[in-house]
Structure 1
């Protein structure tokens, strides 16, 4: 198995929303906000080569929304989803599977593209994988998350016939463990890989950046923040004990890191590009 990080560019989100109850005087030193209180975040995906299959994990924001939508999030940077896949040596038609950790717009937006007047899957030959309970949660959203679950990102996947549920159908990657967590949103799922005798966890929005290693640093977006804190503590303990490599989806600088437990909580041990840590 081989992993490639796929950069899809940057966007901006409110610093207070991203750090919850943590005072700005603390988090602003780690990810400085602009005059609108917006901080820059990455949308980092993974491309996974495993024998005859090529899986993409998450898809970034995409480019099909209108100017008003993008004005809220200010997408920027030179990287793009398809450009980074091509830079890794592949084309969209070669992707066999797309694994969606959850269906918030900054994780699933690139899964669908505009083709003339139609919305179609970006990866025409891929099976799209979600958790069945999370899918139900997304298509009938609660008021808190409704703005994050956009129909144009979700409905075309089901209409295409390319959608499968990893908890009900045969998931074709036996060397990948799937860890559902419920604090951020119902049944967000973290893929955990065994690569070169190491464990690599793509931690999605459970730990969106290296700044969120401290247990109380939890996003205001989370629907069950106390559960997030426990889920994060459990994962970080295992990561520290077993020397896992964590891949951060939203950290604008730190791509991946190992962690250690200290008297003051969990801290980064080593950090850098993913393949440098393997």
Structure 2
């Protein structure tokens, strides 16, 4: 099994929205804002090469939206999924499975693209299955007013229309053991209904793709919850449960949205679970 970080493009989001009710005087210590109160955000996806399968976890925003749309997110850098795949000797057509932690546009937008004539939407990974779960799919395709702007039909419906959509099983508790993709999945409902956090065994380590359960290292304190979360009180409990487990078992936390910290471990302290070590993907995946 081999792991590759896939950089899908960086952007910026409002720091206040990213930290909810937490005062700026606290969150800016770890996530400094620019003059417009925007903080750096990554869309760091993960590619897993496992035998005949090439599994991509999340796909970033993609490139099919309007300039006006992207103008809200202050894109920076020149990373794309295509460039990142090519860096490691792969093409989009090589991907066999696209696993979407959830269907907010910044996590699944790159799954769908326009055809060459820009007349039709089509899967960007024509040979891949797209993985979600039934509860979240219904939540995303019949969105509440709070999340409607994050669930874009053009990112979601073509997966089903193509016949490439598949659903994972749902667990009896919070963790689905040994899913159809060969890894465990932690289900979290605070950010959105049935967000999926992959927990993958890799060379004796457990690599956890944290998605929006832990957007950045700055979100480690339990009360540091995004304003985007639909059920913030539930997020508190889910974060606490997961971070205690991560500290107990020395999980390696792969941070999708942290532009400056790629992988971290955590430890128990008198103040709760806090940052232990910071690693690059190269530190973990090439050793």
- TM, length-normalised to structure 2: 0.93
Contact 2:179 2:185 in 1 (8 A): no
Aligned partners of 1:202 and 1:259: how far apart in 2? 14
Could you tell me which residue of structure 2 aligns to residue 265 of structure 1?
272
Q: CA deviation at 1:30?
A: 1.8
Aligned partners of 2:184 and 2:89: how far apart in 1? 26
Structure 2 regions of 5+ residues with no counterpart?
A: 171-177
Aligned partners of 1:240 and 1:274: how far apart in 2? 19
Aligned partners of 1:237 and 1:213: how far apart in 2? 11
Q: CA deviation at 1:78?
A: 1.8
What pairs with 1:245-264 in structure 2 (closer than 5 Å)? 245-264=252-271
Out of 181, 187, 210, which is 1:173 matched to?
181
Could you tell me which residue of structure 2 aligns to residue 153 of structure 1?
155
What pairs with 1:191-210 in structure 2 (closer than 5 Å)? 191-210=198-217
Is 1:73 equivalent to 2:73 in the alignment?
Answer: yes
User: The residue matched to 1:73 in structure 2 has which SS?
Assistant: coil
Out of 224, 232, 242, which is 1:225 matched to?
232
What pairs with 1:27-42 in structure 2 (closer than 5 Å)? 27-42=27-42
Aligned partners of 1:113 and 1:141: how far apart in 2? 22
Could you tell me which residue of structure 1 aligns to residue 18 of structure 2?
18
Could you tell me which residue of structure 2 aligns to residue 125 of structure 1?
127
Aligned partners of 1:94 and 1:198: how far apart in 2? 26
Q: CA deviation at 1:277?
A: 3.5
Q: CA deviation at 1:101?
A: 0.2
Between 1:24-33 and 1:182-191, the stretch displaced more is: 24-33
Could you tell me which residue of structure 1 aligns to residue 48 of structure 2?
48
User: The residue matched to 1:250 in structure 2 has which SS?
Assistant: coil
User: The residue matched to 1:152 in structure 2 has which SS?
Assistant: helix
Q: Tell me the alpha carbon deviations over residues 83-113 of structure 1, each in whole angstroms, 9 at most, x when there is no partner.
A: 1011111111110000000000000010001
**How many residues of Structure 1 are paired with residues of Structure 2 in the alignment?**
276
Q: CA deviation at 1:275?
A: 4.1
Q: CA deviation at 1:171?
A: 5.2
Structure 1 regions of 5+ residues with no counterpart?
A: none
Q: Tell me the alpha carbon deviations over residues 172-230 of structure 1, each in whole angstroms, 9 at most, x when there is no partner.
A: 423x0011110000000011000101111101000000000110000000011111111
Could you tell me which residue of structure 1 aligns to residue 243 of structure 2?
236
Aligned partners of 1:128 and 1:60: how far apart in 2? 14
Could you tell me which residue of structure 1 aligns to residue 174 of structure 2?
none
- TM, length-normalised to structure 1: 0.96
Could you tell me which residue of structure 2 aligns to residue 134 of structure 1?
136
Aligned partners of 1:89 and 1:48: how far apart in 2? 13
RMSD value, Cα: 1.3
Contact 1:102 1:188 in 2 (8 A): yes
